[in-house]
């Protein structure tokens, strides 16, 4: 058997380990709502370093993530990212992003901010959010598309009761923006089994608009992942 030619292998290994990090990039980021009846609250888009994140699957939600996932408040997440010198675009849709609609934002990244994250609460839900966690920005210019899942922050029981609740720790759903929810529900669940960030099981709903277990309608407010499409143009 011939001996391995280390003269050929070592240069290749050296090249792989010395690829430079992305220093800066001009990004055009488009988020499209793929659902039938779910709205996104103000979206936050950020380029950041590898030590920063908005959320991590399988970990406890931060207080900043909880405020966003339960009430749509991105101010805490924005402060967290600002403290990490991230490049941020807030609320590109200038409010709610309705089903089947898209919003586009431009983002200039700084040296070292090589990862892209996106997050927004989804309504109506108790503590659901659409999220992208630390996608490495490609070095090569081009157009890149992928889909996003809906996550459960694990901070509140999915009772599916629309009652105006939205402050962290206050049970209930802030609103159903489509004005297509019922009322008087007893609640689907009073406890949260998985208290870590995890894939959202989706709304259950029921057909009783004046009671039942849920204020949500399964023909409108139920979803299956993925819930969003993201297109990133690296200039």
Tokens representing 211? 């009671």
Q: Which CATH superfamily is domain 24-234 in?
A: F-spondin domain (2.60.40.2130)
Q: Which residue, chain included where needed, has tokens 């600002």? A: 82
pLDDT in tens, 138-162: 999 999 999 999 999 999 999 999 9
pLDDT greater than 90 at residue 12 = no
Q: Which residue, chain included where needed, has tokens 């309608």? A: 217
Least confident of 8-17, 22-31, 33-42, 70-79: 8-17
CA distances from 110 to 77, 85, 113, 165 (A): 19, 9, 6, 38
230 — pLDDT class (breaks 50, 70, 90): very high
Give the global pTM: 0.90
Look at residue 177 and give its three-state secondary structure: coil
Instruction: Write down the pLDDT at residue 186.
Output: 98
Count Cα neighbours of 188 within 13 Å in the Cβ-side half-sphere. Answer: 24
pLDDT in tens, 50-100: 999 999 999 999 999 999 999 999 999 999 999 999 999 999 999 999 999
Instruction: Write down the pLDDT at residue 22.
Output: 53
Distance CA 38, CA 120 (A): 12
The mean pLDDT of the chain is 92
Contacts 24+ apart (CB under 8 A), 59-66: 59/196, 59/197, 60/154, 60/195, 60/196, 60/197, 61/153, 61/154, 61/155, 61/196, 61/197, 63/168, 65/119, 65/129, 65/153, 65/197, 66/127, 66/153, 66/155, 66/168
pLDDT greater than 50 at residue 1 = no
Please report, for the chain, the start and end positions of each structural domain, with discontinuous segments joined by +: 24-234
Instruction: Write down the pLDDT at residue 2.
Output: 42
| Mean of pLDDT values over 12-24 | 49
Q: Which residue from 124, 209, 195, 211 is spatially nearest to 157, judged by alpha carbons? A: 195
Instruction: Write down the pLDDT at residue 10.
Output: 38
Which residues touch 221 (CB under 8 Å, ≥6 apart)?
37, 38, 124, 176, 180, 181, 203, 205
9 — pLDDT class (breaks 50, 70, 90): very low
Instruction: Write down the pLDDT at residue 203.
Output: 98
Instruction: Write down the pLDDT at residue 23.
Output: 72
pLDDT in tens, 174-199: 999 999 999 999 999 999 999 999 99
Q: Which residue, chain included where needed, has tokens 């793929």? A: 34
Tokens representing 234? 């690296």
24 — pLDDT class (breaks 50, 70, 90): confident
pLDDT greater than 90 at residue 15 = no
Instruction: Write down the pLDDT at residue 215.
Output: 98
Strands 115-123 and 102-109: unpaired
């Amino acid at each position: 058997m011939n001996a391995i030619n280390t003269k050929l292998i070592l240069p290749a290994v050296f090249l792989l380990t010395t690829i430079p990090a992305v220093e800066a990039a001009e990004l055009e980021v488009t988020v499209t709502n793929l659902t039938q009846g779910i709205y996104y609250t103000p979206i936050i888009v950020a380029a950041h370093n590898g030590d920063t994140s908005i959320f991590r699957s399988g970990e406890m939600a931060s207080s900043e993530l909880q405020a966003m996932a339960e009430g749509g408040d991105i101010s805490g997440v924005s402060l967290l990212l600002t403290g990490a010198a991230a490049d941020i675009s807030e609320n590109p849709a200038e409010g709610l992003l309705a089903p089947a609609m898209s919003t586009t934002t431009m983002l200039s990244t700084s040296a070292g901010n090589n990862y892209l994250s996106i997050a927004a609460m989804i309504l109506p839900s108790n503590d659901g959010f659409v999220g992208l966690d630390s996608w490495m920005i490609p070095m090569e210019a081009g157009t890149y598309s992928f889909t996003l899942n809906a996550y459960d922050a694990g901070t509140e029981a999915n009772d599916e009761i629309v009652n105006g609740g939205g402050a962290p720790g206050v049970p209930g759903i802030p609103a159903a923006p489509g004005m297509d929810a019922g009322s008087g529900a007893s609640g689907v669940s009073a406890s949260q089994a998985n208290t870590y960030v995890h894939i959202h099981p989706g709304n259950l709903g029921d057909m009783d608009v004046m009671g039942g277990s849920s204020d949500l309608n399964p023909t409108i407010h139920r979803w299956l992942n993925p819930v969003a499409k993201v297109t990133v143009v690296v200039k």
